Structure 1
Amino acid sequence: MQSVTGSLQAAHVLAASLQPAAAPGGGGGGKAAEVASKLDPVQLVLHASIPVKAVLVVLVVFSLCCWVVIGAKFLHLRRARAESHRFLKTFDAATNFDSMAHGLSAFRGSPFARIFATGYDEMMRMTGGQRQRLGEAEGTHVETATRRAAAREVTHLESWMTLLGTIGSTAPFIGLFGTVYGIMDAFLSIGNQQNANLPVVAPKIAEALIATAIGLVAAIPSVMAYNYFARRVQELADSLEGFAADVAARAKLGGI
């Protein structure tokens, strides 16, 4: 009888030794699996706190506005450069202002054409519609008018670029606010639950870092586009100032 009991005890010991070892902490494996299933970026955004959601909405709107402005400004500058190139070729080949003025409708997108139109209109107003040399006062007036027209064209070329600069400079700080709030919320959860395990802090920190990432996604294209457009506008601005002076000088000679 004792031998049978000993055999049964040995069998129970052997069976227990063959069972897989339990994970430390009892249900830690289940909690880790639960955290892994919840750490999805979409779910984190959907279940984020209200301030973090507000930050994310603002940053998404900034990003959409940034790309809309980039597309519109790129098309604007490309058209302005293309039509200005054609206009300058025609302007250099024209014998007088009268012949050039008749074909201005073909260069509606050129800032150079609008400067010429301003100078031509002022010249004709000063001379009463006659082609003749301008006096010193009339010539100064035409020159001032063409310079003002050039300044207006530069301002028009720079339109909406301030929005790109604003997004590029503020989006990282808005994202940083969302990050700080998310980390603060994580520490509050640790304090309230008296528990610093990964399932408690991981979702809060993850949603905070998502705010930072979206802030950079909105800011980086804005800064790059702003620098690119600013360089292109400056190139055109330098040419516009020289062209305004050229139009004024030729207008003083009667538009020849």
Structure 2
Amino acid sequence: MSAEISFFGLFMQASLLVKAVMIMLLAMSVISWTMIFQRSSALNSASKQSRVFEDRFWSGVELSNLYHEVTHKVGDLSASENLFKAGFKEFARVRKGSNSSPEAVMDATYRSMRVSLSRETEKLETHLPFLATVGSISPYIGLFGTVWGIMNAFIALGEVQQATLAMVAPGIAEALIATAMGLFAAIPAVISYNRFSHKVEKLENNLHNFMEEFSAILHRQAMSKPATNPANQHGA
């Protein structure tokens, strides 16, 4: 392919507006791919860490020992660990009150875990709105560049007496590149957004189930005699 009709050659011949559209789409594509790799790694890590913690939780370890492990863990905590930490800390704090009823204890504990669940879900959804935006608007931005380029090509064609395909082909080609770049940016963003949204929804459901199961364990603790330590070992 000759230099005149190469991608770089067409880019250099394009109007200033079409060049701006191409550069914008290229930047959006680069940022999208960066976020795609980052989100893929983060969600896979979150899923793995949550499974490891829940296996530890259901192994029969005492809640107080598990809480001690979580609070002294080096590094970032998983979503399940943060949920457990928030719930057990509030449960132990409220239950120390001599006049705290089991209902009051569980109400405060559940609210604390709901706040933690909301924060963890927000972390999991990081960058997803940007991917959705890129997937939605990139084809239209590319189409705008294409329409503008074709319009300029036909305006230039109308100014000559003898029009040939060779005269209009480069202008149309450079315009169509904008549409191609818009699709190139949009397709991976849409696919990744749908894939990550499904993963986040699955992780959120798992966290919600864990919260309900943990609440049931703490409820049994709250209904036990006051002398019973809230850190007793939990079981099936």
TM-score of the two chains, using structure 1 as the length reference: 0.81
Secondary structure, in 3 states, of the residue corresponding to 2:58? helix
> Does 2:189 correspond to 1:222?
yes
Cα deviation for residue 196 of structure 1 reads: 2.2
- Aligned twin of 1:207: 174
CA contact (8 A) 1:171 1:218 kept: yes
- Aligned twin of 2:200: 233
Cα deviation for residue 75 of structure 1 reads: 0.9
Q: Does 1 or 2 have the higher relative contact order (CA < 8 Å, sep 6+)?
A: 2
> Does 2:158 correspond to 1:198?
no
> Aligned partner of 1:141: which letter?
A
CA contact (8 A) 1:84 1:107 kept: no
Match of 2:39 among 55, 60, 73: 73
Secondary structure, in 3 states, of the residue corresponding to 2:126? coil
Match of 2:145 among 157, 163, 178: 178
- Aligned twin of 1:23: none
Q: Deviations over 1:90-125 (max 9, x none)?
A: 000133310111221168341000000100110121
Q: Deviations over 1:174-198 (max 9, x none)?
A: 0000110011011100112233212
Cα deviation for residue 199 of structure 1 reads: 2.6
> Does 2:86 correspond to 1:114?
no
Q: How many residues align?
A: 220
Q: Which whole-Å CA distance do the structure 1 matches of 2:56 and 2:8 have between them?
A: 57
Greater CA radius of gyration, 1 or 2?
1
Q: Which runs of 5+ in 1 are unaligned?
A: 1-34
What is the CA RMSD across the aligned residues, in angstroms?
2.0
Secondary structure, in 3 states, of the residue corresponding to 1:102? helix
- Aligned twin of 2:102: 135
- Aligned twin of 2:92: 124
Q: Which whole-Å CA distance do the structure 1 matches of 2:162 and 2:216 have between them?
A: 80
- Aligned twin of 1:41: 7
Q: Deviations over 1:136-168 (max 9, x none)?
A: 112111112112211221111011100000000
Question: Residue 148 and residue 233 in structure 1: after superposition, are their counterparts in 2 closer, same or farther (change >3 A)?
Answer: same
Q: Which whole-Å CA distance do the structure 2 matches of 1:250 and 1:106 have between them?
A: 27
> Aligned partner of 1:239: which letter?
N
TM-score of the two chains, using structure 2 as the length reference: 0.87
- Aligned twin of 1:98: 64
Q: Which runs of 5+ in 2 are unaligned?
A: 222-229
CA contact (8 A) 1:147 1:245 kept: no
Show structure 1 runs of 4+ deviating over 4 A.
none
